């Protein structure tokens, strides 16, 4: 491999002009970057919300409908296995079975009042039922309500 020696003796740059030119170039690039970020942010804040909410709601509704259909099909085709699993997880006459049966859109307070048990006791059992995948807790009209999954 042949080594080549580069010589810059014919080029002379004045330090003050070089740094001034370099600063202007960097400043122009920085200004462009700032302008570009502002332009993108303006596009995001001005244009996106106009159609985002409608499109997102429509898509989410479609996805939710499809998932409900899939859930229904799976529950129909596996109803025997679901019933067997529920019987294993919820023994007849157990407190968890009673609480599970009351999870039809009631709040924790309503369940505790119906069973005449403390709020802490019912909360504890609701947590166990949630971990087992038997119930879900959702917020509705500012209240947390419990519903059976199966």
User: If you count DSSP H runs as helices and E runs as strands, how many of each does the chain have, helices first?
Assistant: 6, 3
State pTM to two decimals.
0.56
Residue 101: in which H helix or E strand, if any?
Answer: helix 95-102
pLDDT in tens, 47-82: 555 556 666 888 888 999 999 999 899 989 999 998
What the block records as the tokens of 109 is 């307070």
Structural domains of the chain sorted by starting position, each given as residue range(s) with its CATH number in brackets: 21-66 (no CATH), 85-148 (1.10.10.10)
**Does residue 1 have a pLDDT over 70?**
no
**Does residue 107 have a pLDDT over 50?**
yes
């Amino acid at each position: 491999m042949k080594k080549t020696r580069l010589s810059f003796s014919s080029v002379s740059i004045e330090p003050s002009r070089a740094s001034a030119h370099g600063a202007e170039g960097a400043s122009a690039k920085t200004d462009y970057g700032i302008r570009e970020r502002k332009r993108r942010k303006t596009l995001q804040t001005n244009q996106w919300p106009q159609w985002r909410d409608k499109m997102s709601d429509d898509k989410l509704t479609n996805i939710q409908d499809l998932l409900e259909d899939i859930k229904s099909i799976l529950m129909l085709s596996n109803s025997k296995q679901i019933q067997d699993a529920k019987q294993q997880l919820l023994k007849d006459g157990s407190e968890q079975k009673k609480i599970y049966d009351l999870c039809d859109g009631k709040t924790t307070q309503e369940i505790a009042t119906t069973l005449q048990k403390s709020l802490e006791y019912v909360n504890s059992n609701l947590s166990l039922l949630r971990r087992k995948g038997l119930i879900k807790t959702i917020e509705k009209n500012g209240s947390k309500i419990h519903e059976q999954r199966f």
